Structure formats: C-alpha cells, structure tokens
Amino acid sequence: MTNNKAVLSWLEEMKALTTPDNVVWIDGTQEQIDKLRAEAVAEGELFKLNQEKLPGCYLHRTAENDVARVEDRTFICTTKKEDAGPTNNWEAPDVMYAKLRKLFDGCMKGRTMYVIPYMMGSYGSPFSKIGIELTDSRYVVLNMLIMTRVGTKVLEELGDSDDFVKCLHAKKDIDAENRYICHFPEDNTIWTINSGYGGNVLLGKKCFALRIASHMGHKEGWMAEHMLILGLENPEGEVKYIAAAFPSACGKTNLAMLIPPEMLKGYKVWTVGDDIAWLRIGKDGRLWAVNPEAGFFGVAPGTSTKTNPNALKTTMKDTIFTNVLLNTADNTVWWEGLDGEPPKEGIDWKGNPWTPESGVKGAHPNSRFTAPAKQCPCISSEFEAPEGVPISAIVFGGRRAKTAPLVYEAFDWQHGVFVGATMASETTAAAAGAVGVVRRDPMAMIPFCGYNMADYFAHWLEMGKKIPNPPKIFHVNWFRLDENGKFMWPGFGDNLRVLNWILDRCEGKADAKETAIGYLPEAKDINIEGLDISAETLEKLLSVDKSVWKEEVEGQKEFFAKFGDRLPKEIKDEIEKLSARLA
Ligand code: TSX
Ligand code: MN
C-alpha cells in the first residue's frame, strides 16, 4: 500500500519481533470492513445484533479482568525521570523496550497482524497528525475505523515522511500481571500488550491524542486537552464555541450533546467533540480548537432519552457495543439507566444468563458504545473544519458537594490556569473506593498528561502570554448538594442557562460580583424562567462558604507540594492570593 521507507522498515522490524503469520493492510474500504466483521463474528469476537433494529451494530465482550484503563500499568518512558513527573509511572526507555521486547517476542505467531494507517484530525487540515497502529485484534481495527480516519488516503497524506506515531499492540494472553501501556514520547512510539480494552488499545485516543500529543504540544507551542467542544447557537443564529474539561462521571458527553429546555427554544447546541481538543493560536490571535477524533467512545450506563437522546440516536447504526447486556428476546442491547423496563432476560457483560432478579449488573459500569460522530443528530457543521472553531470560553468543572458554586469566572488567564489546576471531584458511590473523598485532577489531565505536570502548568501559563485574544476561563459545578443531600441544580439541558451567562460575560453583556474565588453571577443574572427552583436555592448555589474554602486551600497546597520546585511560581502566587482573599 505504500513505498514509504520509514513505514516499511519499521514494519519489517515489528514483524521480526512479533512473527505474525499474515500481514493485512487496512485500506478503509467497505468491502474490507464487511469482511473483517464477518470474520470477527465467525471467530466469536463480535456478536451480530438485530440488523433490522440496529443495522451494522455488533456486541463485543472483553475479558473480565480487562474492562478499564489501567493507570498503574501505564508508563511514560522518557530519558529523564523528572520529564515524566510525579503523577506518571516512569521507566527508562531502554529498560522498558528490553522488558517489552521479551513480551512481544513471537507473540503474533499463528495470528494476523493488521496495519492501520490512521489520522487524528480531518483530511487536509494543517493540524492533523498521523499514526500507524499494528495490532492482532480485529476488534481494535473495527473500533479504529470508527474513532479515527483510516486507510489509503492517510498513507497518501503521509507521502514519504517519517512523521507518524509508531503504535504496536498485541493481545497476547490478556494477562493483567504483564499488561503494559507504554509511551515513548521522545521517539513517537506507543507499545501496549496484554489488553483488549478500548482505552488501552485504541492507540489514537488517550495514548496518542492526549499523552503523546500533549508532549508534542509542549514542544511545538500548542495544547492537547481532555476537553469537549460545543457550539452554542443563540436565537439570532450566532454560534459561539466553548471547550470544557471535567473529571470522569460529570457527564461530559451529555453536555457536549445538550438539548435546550423548552423555555429556551431558540437556542441550539452543536457538538464538535466530546473528549479531546487540540488547541492552537489562530492567525486572528484567538484560540482555535479541533476534535482530532472521528467517533465517540462513550460510557453506555446512564445514557437514556432523558440524559442524552442525541447519543442514543448516534448509536442506532454502525456501532460497536462493548460489555453491555444482550437482550436475548430481540438481540438488542441494554444497560442500567436506559429508559423503560429492563429486559426480562438476557446475557450479561460476563456472558452469563441474566434476569433483573440476578442481583448483578447486566452491563459493566464502564461498558461503552463506539459510534461514528457523523451520525450524531447535533454534530456541528464545523466538525471537520480544517482550522477548527474559535473558542470564546474555557470551562473547567468538578463534582463538589459544598465547595464550588454553580459557576464562577476566573479573574484573568493566570488565575484561570490556577482554577484548572485545582480541579477536583468528590467520589460517588458509583466509583471504586471511599465515598466523598476529594480526587484532585488538574484540567482532568492527571491520567493523560504525557510529561511533567508542573511543566504542563507552566505551558498553560506560557500559552496565555502568547494568545493576543485569549478565551475567558470559568468553573462550573452541576453537583452541589443541599442540607438533605439533594442536588440543588437540575442540571442536564438547564445547564444551558449557565452557558448563556458564560457567553454573555465573554461579550461583556452580563453582570458579576467580585468574590474571594472569582467573579460570580448575581441570582438575577441566571435566567431561571420556567424552572422549579426557589430564589433561596439559587442564592445558595451562588454562595461561597469561606470556611469550606479555607479547608479547600489546605487540600490544594498538599496536592501542589508533590511538584516541589518545578511548580511554577505563578501557581504558588495564586494560592497565596486566594488565601489572602479568604482571610
Ligand atoms: O450528565 C450530567 N449532567 C450534565 C448534563 C448536560 N449528569 C449525569 C451524571 C454524570 C454522568 C448529571 N447529574 C447532571 C448534569 O448536569 N446533574 C446531575 C445531578 C442530578 C441528577 C438528577 C436530577 C438533578 C440533578 N433530577 C432528578 O432526579 C429529577
Ligand atoms: Mn475522556
């Protein structure tokens, strides 16, 4: 498929290491996709769902020990340990390559190696980047075909360049003890073994588009962020774009596909991306964003016509479901939190017979859909725009019971970076571990930053100085609780009311009051027309409890201490300024 010498010599080297029986180049044609699907069904890798109700849809089950990303087995392999930083696992590249070579040695014997040339970003965009993933998994191939742009056209764009990320994956034995997800940012390489789960093996996504790309962005003066991108159209037809970072379990995909409430009918949300944003300074001095992905790899449980009808519609065809419940009555799928009654019987994510009385979950809590973004009813017309979309506001969020108000605006870029760096979420019963524990997750990048996070903060600060016309930075919290432990804010579509204040602030059209933590709206500034919420509750949602915040500052200081001297002075200054304002 190519005469590119760099590609061919690397492929020969990887073939010699893994010794596959066959090599198949993925060209992206429908004929090849159909063939791969048929083979995967014949091998039991995929189950063909009801093709009348769910055309082109399939179900896959992973091994029981292989259902999520594994952060303790994820490594950033840089020459110097400090370049990976205190929040990443590190190993020296030569040591890790030696260890992995032993694991990869001959591991594709009797198997087929698939060569997937893929592009992150749209064809023809100056910001797109190319990767080639070698894998022995048809499931990976079929997912990559949805999540990225795959095929001959990518090799044409690559030409004879050696500028591509070299990705190697082998399922081997799905042995959790020898599972490795390893990044070598200094030589554009990702090697991963003994897993078949999405986040560990769809190497274009977290591994490339966040970990390797964040390292590239640091060197080259742009940013790879764990952010959704949405366009908000007002009744006059003007669209403004927001990029937003949230820790897991905050409903990022739901926000990216938000449907406005009845009362705000003239508004419309357009989805540009639900997970990753590559941000660059445009010729006009604004910050511009592209979504490098081509699909959504979304969490299924909790997705319903109430929480996210657009996501459901996106998954009605050509979608791969992973670890959901199979409804055996009609060969469709189900998960906890989907509308209506659960099926009377089915096969659960482990492959066991299931009924609602089984006492176990039908779908794994981290079960997923892989669906083409183009099928989303609210996909933005700018989804593939080569230069991306101009960002008016950056929004950080968290799940906080008491600390953070519904929304606040940072004083300036530097303070905004601090607001992002102090992002945190309180664990819910749904997550593993204790309930109510604060997890610090700056910019939602803790698991995804491919270099020292102290340098990452410095890069954010540096970018602020280089953007002539920077977006304003905000923080939101949809999850504040009242004294009875009830959510005070209705969330979901009504979050649009908060986004409207945010965009009005960006245009100088809305008021705010100055508080110790930033600019907050007055109750009158949030439109609650048609909402069943008392003035008193709104006041509470917009209040700042100084004693709670003083405790919060202590937690922030403790967290930042791990970065030692490498932590930028500006961050230390901001924490001192916040302390002083709270005193
Ligand atoms: O996704 C959510 N968003 C963002 C939506 C655009 N969720 C789902 C949980 C995260 C996966 C939310 N849950 C949101 C939210 O804004 N808010 C809440 C909390 C909440 C839950 C239920 C109700 C209100 C708030 N209402 C009733 O139960 C009637
Ligand atoms: Mn994510």
pLDDT tens, residue by residue, 194-249? 999 998 999 999 999 999 999 999 999 999 999 999 999 999 999 999 999 999 88
- Residue 534: is it exposed, middle or buried by C-beta count within 10 angstroms (0-12/13-18/19+)? exposed
Q: Is the CB of 260 under 6 A from ligand 1?
A: no
Smallest CA-to-CA distance from 42 within 56, 19, 58 is with: 58
159-to-152, 155, 156, 213, 562 alpha-carbon distances in Å: 11, 6, 5, 21, 44
| Residue 161 Cα to ligand 2 middle (Å) | 30
**Pairing assessment for the beta strands 320-322 and 287-290 based on DSSP bridges:** unpaired
337 in contact with ligand 1, CB cutoff 6 A: no
Q: For a substitution probing ligand 1, which of 492, 500, 541 has the most ligand atoms within 8 Å of its CB?
A: 492
Parallel/antiparallel/unpaired status of strands 165-170 and 189-193: parallel
Residue 520 Cβ < 6 Å to ligand 1: no
**314: which 2 tokens?**
């996106």
- Between CA 326 and CA 334, with CA 332 as vertex, the angle to 5 degrees is 60
Give pairs for 43-52: CB < 8 Å, separation 24+: 43/138, 45/137, 45/138, 45/139, 46/138, 46/139, 46/142, 46/320, 47/326, 48/331, 49/321, 49/326, 49/331, 49/332, 49/333, 50/330, 50/331, 50/332
User: What amino acid is encoded at 328 in this protein?
Assistant: T
Q: Whose CA is nearest to atom 1 of ligand 1?
A: 251
CA-based nearest residue to 269, from 523, 477, 492: 492
DSSP letter at 213 equals: H
Q: Which long-range contacts (CB under 8 A, 24 or more apart) does 550-554 make?
A: 550/579, 550/582, 552/403, 552/422, 553/578, 553/579, 553/582
pLDDT, position 431: 53
What pLDDT, on the 0 to 100 scale, is given for residue 112?
98
- C-beta 182 within 6 A of ligand 1: no
Identify whether 250 is a catalytic site residue. Answer: yes
Written in H, E and C, the secondary structure of 504-550 is HHHCCCCCCEECCCCEECCHHHCCCCCCCCCHHHHHHHCCCCHHHHH
User: Pairing state of beta strands 74-76 and 180-184?
Assistant: parallel
- Among protein residues, the one whose CA lies closest to atom 5 of ligand 1: 492
pLDDT in tens, 419-440: 999 999 998 765 556 778 999 9
- What residues are paired with 114 via a beta bridge? 24, 135
Vertex 210 angle, CA 393 and 418, to 5°: 45
CA-to-CA distance for 260 and 465, rounded, in angstroms? Answer: 35
Ligand nearest to the CA of 198: 2
Where in the chain are the domains? 5-45+69-221, 225-293+381-582, 295-375
Closest CA to 361 of 302, 310, 410, 285: 302
**Is 3.90.228.20 the CATH number for 225-293+381-582?**
yes
What was the pLDDT predicted at 504?
A: 98
Q: How far is the CA of 344 from the centre of ligand 1 (A)?
A: 27
Ligand 1, atom 17: closest residue by C-alpha:
491
Residue among 182, 250, 378, 449 flagged as catalytic? 250
CATH homologous superfamily for the domain 5-45+69-221: Phosphoenolpyruvate Carboxykinase, domain 1 (3.40.449.10)
Task: Report the residue among 307, 476, 481, 484 best suited for mutation to probe ligand 1: largest number of ligand atoms under 8 A from its CB.
Answer: 307
pTM (global) more than 0.85: yes
**CATH homologous superfamily of domain 295-375?**
Phosphoenolpyruvate Carboxykinase, domain 2 (2.170.8.10)
Ligand 2 midpoint to CA 304 (Å): 19
The residue contributing the CA closest to ligand 1 atom 22 is: 490
> Which of 487, 498, 502 has most ligand 1 atoms within 8 Å of its beta carbon, as the pocket-test mutant?
487
In 3D space, the residue among 146, 135, 114 whose CA is nearest the CA of residue 321 turns out to be: 146
Q: How far apart are CA 111 and CA 481, in angstroms?
A: 53
CA angle 135, 138, 144 (to 5 degrees): 75
Would the CB of 302 count as within 6 Å of ligand 1? yes
Asked whether 246 lines ligand 1 (CB < 6 A), one says no
Query: Residue 155: what pLDDT?
Result: 98
Structure confidence at residue 249 (pLDDT): 87
Q: Where are the beta strands (DSSP E) in 100-148?
A: 112-120, 129-135
CA distance 486 to 482: 5
**Type of residue numbered 120:** M
The structure tokens 């509308």 sit at: 339
Ligand 1 pocket check for 254: Cβ under 6 Å: yes
Residues of the chain with pLDDT under 70: 429-433
pLDDT digits (tens, 9 = 90+) for 386-412: 999 999 999 999 999 999 999 999 999
